[in-house]
Every structure is written in C-alpha cells, then in structure tokens.
Amino acid sequence: MFNRLAINNKRLFADWLIGRSMRGIALLSASLILVIGAALVWKSRQVVGGHSLLDLFLGSSWKPSRGEFGFLPFILGTVWVTITASIIAIPPAILTSLYLTEYADKKLGRWIDPLVDILAGIPSIVYGIWGVLVVVPFIKDHFAPFFGVPSAGYSVLAGGTVLAIMIVPIIMHVSCEVLRSVPKELKEASLALGATKWQTIKGVVLKRAMPGMVAACVLGISRAFGETMAVVMVVGNVAKLPKTVFSPAYPLPALIANHYGEMLSIPMYDSALLFAALILFLAVIYFNLVARMILTGSKWSVYYGG
C-alpha cells in the first residue's frame, strides 16, 4: 500500500513538474516579444527625444552627419515594394490554391505540395541572386523599354517581383489548408441542389474560407514587409521618393542591413537605425494581429452559424 502511494505521488509530482516547465517555457517564448520591443524602444529614445515624430515620419532628408533623419523615403519604399509584391503574388497564389484543392488530381497535389514547401525554405539570398541575374536584366532590357521608360533594372518592380515569388508559398500553403477545411457536406449539398462546380466554389467554398484566405494574404504581406537580403540586392537602394515601379527605392530593412555597424560614431545614427527596426517590428506585429483577428472572427462566425 505504501509503495503504491509513493509511486502515485511520484507520478503526480512528475506531471506537475512537466506541466509547470512547459508553461514556463511558453511564457518565456512569449516574453521575448516584449523584451525585443522594450529594447528597441529604449535604444530609439535618443533620436525620438531629439526630433519630433512628425519630422521623423514625414521628413525626406536623410543626412546623418547633419542630424537629419527623415524616414519618409524608406517607409514609402517599403510600402511600394510590399504593395507591388502583393499585387503580383496574391492572384496566382489564390487561383493555384483553388485549383489544387478543387480541380487537381490528388496525385498532382502530392507532387506539388512538397515543391511549395521547398520554395518556402529556399534562403532569401538565393532569391536575391536569382533576381540580380534574371529579373533585373529582364526589366532593364525588355520590360521597361516596352513601356518607353528608362530603367537600370534595380527598381521597385524588381524587388516586388522577387518578394512575390518568396511569399507565394506562404499564401498557398495557408490557403490550401483553409480550403481543405471546408466541410465536404456543404459542397455536396450545393451540388445536390443543382449548382455547378464553379457556383459551388464561389457560393460555398470561397464564402466559408474567405476569412482564412484573407489572413493568409496578410501573413504573406507581413513576410514581404520585413524581408531584407533579397530586397537589398535588387531594389536599387536610393534614398529618394519612388515615383513609379521602375524607380529605385530604399526600404527600411535594406537601410538597416546596409548601414548598421557603420558610421556609429555619428550622434544618434545608431538610435535612428534602431528606430527603423522598431517601425518594422510594430508593423509586423500589426499584420500578425490583424491576421489573428480575422481568423478568430471567422471561428466565432462559424460557431454562431454566420
């Protein structure tokens, strides 16, 4: 009897210890976000204290030696490249997801799914080299001349094209999972009522899966917003306001990658670069929160019969 109680106590203690340990690890992982955010805010306090936020966000002059830190060209460069990548990536990613889940043979899906995962795992530097060797010359020699626009090839369009190829696997993977989660009974009921395949997809599948697909697109945009190496190599890195997609740009990740560790003897230069990192950090958190809210809202809608 005593031995059984001892064994049970050990098992209960082991369960308690494992549970507490896992909870501690989970809280530690979550607290890293707060630690990173707090560190960026602390390091950015010098440039924020020396300049108004209006001057930092709307200023277009970037002359660290004179104490001028205008982030507008870099913010707009990031926005231009991200929007371009989204326009190029989202339509084919969504249409391919629909084809794979609703039209394609299962054997084809089993072949394509691993290829999509491989695309998602390729290092960004490889995409950047591919962009320099293929995308930039194509824009310079063929695409820009077709529209009668002079371009060196290193442009918003080059950065957006490379980023689009990088985020397509993310959008496709999440969209396919969302589309496959639509109950088969709903599709069969629609077909039984006389609806065609496309009418069923449009009226049932897309309507049910739309929140998840929007969240997939938001996650892809989040990845594009913070991507660094591939963009640095093809976007041109000119600190001016881009006027067209053929203009060079200078996104925030490229600014940090190119200059952090250099010229840090200049007052507030280090703080300004970390303020750029803080902007990216907050933007990525915002995109992820939006995606999370969309997914959570869709779950509550399904729960209450919406």
Residues 27 and 162 in one domain: no
Residues 156 and 242 in one domain: yes
Residues 255 and 117 in one domain: yes
Distance CA 81, CA 59 (A): 20
Residues 139 and 15 in one domain: no
Residues 6 and 76 in one domain: no
Domain with 260 in it: what CATH number? Answer: 1.10.3720.10
Residues 142 and 273 in one domain: yes
Task: Provide the domain count of the chain.
Answer: 2
Three-class HEC string of the chain:
CHHHHHHHHHHHHHHHHHHHHHHHHHHHHHHHHHHHHHHHHHHHHHHHHHCCHHHHHHCCCEEHHHCEECCHHHHHHHHHHHHHHHHHHHHHHHHHHHHHHHHCCHHHHHHHHHHHHHHHHCCHHHHHHHHHHHHHHHHHHHHHHHCCCCCCCCCHHHHHHHHHHHHHHHHHHHHHHHHHCCCHHHHHHHHHCCCCHHHHHHHHHHHHHHHHHHHHHHHHHHHHHHCCHHHHHHCECCCCCCCCCCCCECCHHHHHHHHCCCCCCCCCHHHHHHHHHHHHHHHHHHHHHHHHHHHHHHHHHHHCCC
Residues 40 and 163 in one domain: no
Residues 74 and 44 in one domain: no
Residues 36 and 67 in one domain: no
pLDDT per residue, tens digit, the chain (306 aa), is 555 655 566 777 777 778 788 888 888 877 888 888 888 889 888 888 878 888 888 888 888 878 788 889 999 999 999 999 999 999 999 999 998 888 888 777 778 878 888 887 888 889 989 999 999 999 999 898 888 888 888 999 999 999 999 999 989 988 888 888 888 888 888 888 888 888 888 888 888 888 888 888 888 888 888 787 788 889 988 888 888 899 999 898 888 888 776 656 677 888 888 899 999 899 888 888 888 787 776 554 443 344
Residues 75 and 46 in one domain: no
Q: Which domain holds residue 214?
A: 57-303
> Among the three residues 50, 75, 90, which one is the final residue of a domain in this structure?
50
Residues 38 and 107 in one domain: no
Residues 193 and 219 in one domain: yes
How far is the CA of 65 from the CAs of 42, 68, 106, 251, 289, in angstroms?
22, 8, 60, 20, 37
What residues form DSSP beta bridges with 62? 69
